[in-house]
Amino acid sequence: MTKMFYRYFQKMKFCLIAKMEQLGPFILFYTLSCADKRWNEMLATVATKKFKDLNVMYCLEERSEGRKVEDEELNQYKPLDMDSDEEVYVDPEEEVEIVENKTNEYFVHEKVPRSKNIQLRTKCHLHHYSDGFVCERTGLTEYFDNSRRKELLQDCVLDITRMFDRKVKSFRKNILMAPQSPMQIQYYQDRTEFQGRGNAHLHGAAWSNFEELEQLFPGITRTFDKIRQNKRLLQEDLKSLTKMAESSLTCTLNVEEIERFRLSQEDAEWVANTVKEVNKHHHTKSCQRDGKCRYNIPRFPSNYTIVAQVLPQVEGEEENKVREKLVLAVNFVQRNVKESLMGLEKEDLEVLQDISLDQLLEAALSDITCDGDVIIVSGRITKNEFKVKTVCDFFKGFSNTQVTAVSSRQYLRQAVYHYSLSVCDYGAKMVLKRSVGEICINNYNPHWMLAMNCNMDIQIPLDYFSIITYVTNYMTKPEKSTAEILSAVKKQKQKEKVSHTQLMYALVHAYLTSREMGECEAYYKLDPNLHYQESNIKTVFVASGFPENRQKFLRQAKEDNKMAFEIEGHEGKFQETQSIHD
Q: Where would I find the beta strands (DSSP E) of 9-123?
A: 28-33, 54-58, 106-113
CB 190 within 8 A of CB 12: no
Read off the pLDDT band of 305 (50, 70, 90). very high
Report in angstroms the alpha-carbon separations of 77 from 87, 95, 152, 337.
Answer: 10, 13, 35, 67
Burial class (CB in 10 A: 0-12, 13-18, 19+), 144: buried
Q: What is the pLDDT of residue 479?
A: 64
**SS3 state at 338:** helix
pLDDT digits (tens, 9 = 90+) for 492-551: 888 888 888 899 999 888 877 776 778 888 888 888 899 988 999 988 877 777 877 777
CB 507 within 8 A of CB 489: yes
Across residues 445-466, what is the average pLDDT? 92
For the cut 50, the answer to whether the pLDDT of residue 260 exceeds it is yes
Which residue, among 345, 204, 226, has the nearest Cα to 287 in the 3D structure? 345
Reading across the β-sheet that carries 185-194, which strands appear in turn? Answer: 456-459, 28-33, 200-208, 185-194, 533-535
Q: What is the pLDDT of residue 488?
A: 86
Within a 10 A sphere around the Cβ of 134, how many other Cβ atoms? 20
136/132 Cα distance (integer angstroms): 13
CB 135 within 8 A of CB 129: yes
246 vs 543 pLDDT, higher one: 246
- The DSSP 8-state label assigned to residue 218 in this structure reads T
For the cut 90, the answer to whether the pLDDT of residue 575 exceeds it is no
Within a 10 A sphere around the Cβ of 576, how many other Cβ atoms? 14
450 vs 405 pLDDT, higher one: 450
For the cut 80, the answer to whether the pLDDT of residue 130 exceeds it is no
For the cut 70, the answer to whether the pLDDT of residue 1 exceeds it is no
Type of residue found at 472: T
pLDDT digits (tens, 9 = 90+) for 456-506: 999 999 988 888 888 888 888 776 567 778 888 888 888 888 888 899 999
For the cut 70, the answer to whether the pLDDT of residue 102 exceeds it is no
Read off the pLDDT band of 96 (50, 70, 90). very low
**SS3 state at 55:** strand
Which range has highest mean pLDDT (135-144, 237-246, 347-356, 542-551)? 237-246
Within a 10 A sphere around the Cβ of 240, how many other Cβ atoms? 21
For the cut 80, the answer to whether the pLDDT of residue 242 exceeds it is yes
Give the DSSP H or E segment for 554.
strand 554-557
Which residue, among 235, 242, 272, 249, has the nearest Cα to 437 in the 3D structure? 272
Report in angstroms the alpha-carbon separations of 296 from 259, 263, 293, 442.
Answer: 28, 30, 5, 11
413/478 Cα distance (integer angstroms): 45
For the cut 80, the answer to whether the pLDDT of residue 230 exceeds it is yes
Burial class (CB in 10 A: 0-12, 13-18, 19+), 417: buried
Which residue, among 295, 230, 349, 271, has the nearest Cα to 458 in the 3D structure? 295
202/65 Cα distance (integer angstroms): 38
Across residues 389-398, what is the average pLDDT? 78
pLDDT digits (tens, 9 = 90+) for 166-185: 999 999 999 999 988 899 99
Give the DSSP H or E segment for 161.
helix 157-171
Burial class (CB in 10 A: 0-12, 13-18, 19+), 102: middle
34 vs 97 pLDDT, higher one: 34
Q: Can you give the residue ranges of every domain in the chain?
A: 40-153, 300-435, 480-576
φ, ψ of residue 55 in degrees (nearest 5): -115, 100
493/29 Cα distance (integer angstroms): 42
For the cut 70, the answer to whether the pLDDT of residue 279 exceeds it is yes
Give the DSSP H or E segment for 384.
strand 383-387
User: Per mean pLDDT, which range of 96-100, 131-135, 184-188, 246-250 is the poorest?
Assistant: 96-100
Q: Where would I find the beta strands (DSSP E) of 124-248?
A: 133-139, 185-194, 200-208
**SS3 state at 123:** strand
pTM check: above 0.85: no
For the cut 80, the answer to whether the pLDDT of residue 359 exceeds it is yes
Mean pLDDT over all residues of the chain? Answer: 82
Q: What is the pLDDT of residue 78?
A: 39
Q: Residues near 361 by Cβ (< 8 Å), separated by ≥ 6?
A: 337, 410, 413, 414, 417
Q: What is the pLDDT of residue 579?
A: 64
44/56 Cα distance (integer angstroms): 6
3/524 Cα distance (integer angstroms): 8
- Start-end of H helices in 292-381: 317-344, 349-353, 357-364
Q: What is the pLDDT of residue 82?
A: 35
Burial class (CB in 10 A: 0-12, 13-18, 19+), 486: buried
Read off the pLDDT band of 99 (50, 70, 90). very low
Across residues 70-78, what is the average pLDDT? 41
438 vs 61 pLDDT, higher one: 438
Q: Residues near 47 by Cβ (< 8 Å), separated by ≥ 6?
A: 54, 56, 108, 140, 144, 152
